[in-house]
Structure 1
Amino acid sequence: MTYRLAVQRMIIERKAKDFFSSTTFARPRPHEVLPEVVYRHNSLIRRKLGNVDLHLQENKAVSLGIAAPLVNSVLIQPGETFSFWKLVGSCTEAKGYREGLVINHGRADSGIGGGLCQFTNLLHWMVLHSELTVVEHHHHGDLDLFPDFHRQIPFGSGTSIIYNYLDYRVRNDTDQAYQFLVTTTDEHLCGELRAERVPATKFHIREEDAYFHEADGNVYRHNKVVRLTRDKRTGLVTSKEQIIENNALVVYDRSLINVPILPERPRPEEPDELLAAVTA
Structure 2
Amino acid sequence: MKRRLEWIFDGKKYAKTRDGDKLEFRIKKHQSVLLKKLGDNNEQLQINKITNLKIASANINGIIIKPGETFSYCKLIGLPTRKKGYLLGMELSFGQAKAGIGGGICQISNLIHWLVIHSPLTVTERYHHSFDPFPDDGRVLPFGSGATVFYNYLDYQFTNNTEHTFQINLWFTDKCLEGGLRINTELDYT
TM-score in same-fold range (> 0.5): yes
Q: Please report how far the alpha carbon of residue 116 of structure 1 lies from its aligned counterpart in structure 2 after TM superposition.
A: 0.6
Aligned residues: 190
CA distances 1:127-148 after superposition (whole Å, capped 9, x unpaired):
11100000000122x4344332
Contact 2:35–2:47 (8 Å) recurs in 1: yes
- Going from structure 1 to structure 2, the CA distance change for 1:53 and 1:80 (only over 3 Å counts) comes to same
Aligned positions of 1:115-134 closer than 5 A? 115-134=104-123
Contact 2:36–2:134 (8 Å) recurs in 1: no
- Which of structures 1 and 2 has the larger relative contact order (alpha carbons within 8 angstroms, sep 6+)? 2
Match 1:113 to one of 102, 106, 109: 102
Partners in 1 of 2:99 and 2:20 — Cα distance? Answer: 36
Q: Please report how far the alpha carbon of residue 199 of structure 1 lies from its aligned counterpart in structure 2 after TM superposition.
A: 1.8
Sequence identity percentage: 42
Partners in 1 of 2:142 and 2:127 — Cα distance? Answer: 16
Contact 1:28–1:72 (8 Å) recurs in 2: no
Structure 1, unaligned runs of 5 or more: 1-11, 203-280
SS in 1 for 2:59: helix
Q: Which amino acid aligns with 1:179?
A: Q
CA RMSD of aligned residues (A): 1.2
Match 1:72 to one of 61, 71, 89: 61
State the partner residue of 1:195: 183
Structure 2, unaligned runs of 5 or more: none
Q: Please report how far the alpha carbon of residue 175 of structure 1 lies from its aligned counterpart in structure 2 after TM superposition.
A: 1.0
SS in 2 for 1:94: coil
TM-score (norm 2): 0.95
Partners in 2 of 1:197 and 1:51 — Cα distance? Answer: 47
Runs of 4+ in 1 over 4 A off after TM superposition: none
Q: Please report how far the alpha carbon of residue 159 of structure 1 lies from its aligned counterpart in structure 2 after TM superposition.
A: 1.4
Contact 1:101–1:114 (8 Å) recurs in 2: yes
TM-score (norm 1): 0.65
Match 1:92 to one of 61, 65, 81: 81
Q: Which amino acid aligns with 1:33?
A: K
State the partner residue of 1:21: 10
Match 1:136 to one of 125, 134, 152: 125
CA distances 1:56-108 after superposition (whole Å, capped 9, x unpaired):
10000000011111100100001000011111111000111000111122111
Match 1:155 to one of 132, 143, 148: 143
Q: Please report how far the alpha carbon of residue 149 of structure 1 lies from its aligned counterpart in structure 2 after TM superposition.
A: 0.7
Q: Which amino acid aligns with 2:159?
A: R
